[in-house]
């Protein structure tokens, strides 16, 4: 199973250029790991830390859950309701996953 930094490094390679239709930002708070991912003009920018005041989509979860989600796991409604997975925009979170091959 890859580590969180390995997943973010992989994202750049796996991003399908132009797949994200609109410009938007994502902030990932994964315990000690914090990343901002920006889609702009068909390109992707990945930065460590929180680099925006307000992201369009925020995901807060454990590093283990994040890696599982990256590998195709879809969290259950119970995991959202219990707070294991928190997001302010579930629809945009689904769009994120579709941007990679």
CATH number at residue 87: 3.30.1050.10
- With respect to residue 33, please indicate whether it lies within any of the assigned structural domains: yes
Domain that holds residue 22: 4-95
- With respect to residue 39, please indicate whether it lies within any of the assigned structural domains: yes
pTM of the model: 0.94
- With respect to residue 101, please indicate whether it lies within any of the assigned structural domains: no
Using one digit for the tens of pLDDT, what is the confidence trace for 39-87?
999 899 999 999 999 999 999 999 999 999 999 999 999 999 999 999 9
- With respect to residue 53, please indicate whether it lies within any of the assigned structural domains: yes
Extended strands (E) in the chain: 24-30, 33-40, 43-48, 57-61, 85-87
Distance from C-alpha of 19 to C-alpha of 16, rounded to nearest angstrom: 5
- With respect to residue 17, please indicate whether it lies within any of the assigned structural domains: yes
Residue 22, pLDDT above cutoff 80: yes
- With respect to residue 90, please indicate whether it lies within any of the assigned structural domains: yes
- With respect to residue 100, please indicate whether it lies within any of the assigned structural domains: no
- With respect to residue 42, please indicate whether it lies within any of the assigned structural domains: yes
Number of separate domains in the chain: 1
């Amino acid at each position: 199973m890859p580590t969180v930094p390995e997943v973010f490094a992989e994202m750049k390679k796996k991003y399908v250029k132009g797949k994200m239709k609109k410009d938007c930002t994502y902030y990932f708070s994964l315990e000690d790991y914090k990343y901002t991912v920006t889609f702009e003009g068909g390109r992707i920018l990945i930065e460590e830390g929180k680099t925006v005041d307000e992201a369009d989509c925020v995901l807060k979860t454990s590093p283990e859950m994040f890696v599982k989600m990256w590998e195709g796991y879809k969290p259950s409604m119970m995991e959202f309701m219990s707070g294991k997975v928190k997001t302010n925009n579930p629809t945009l979170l689904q769009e994120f996953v579709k941007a990679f091959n």
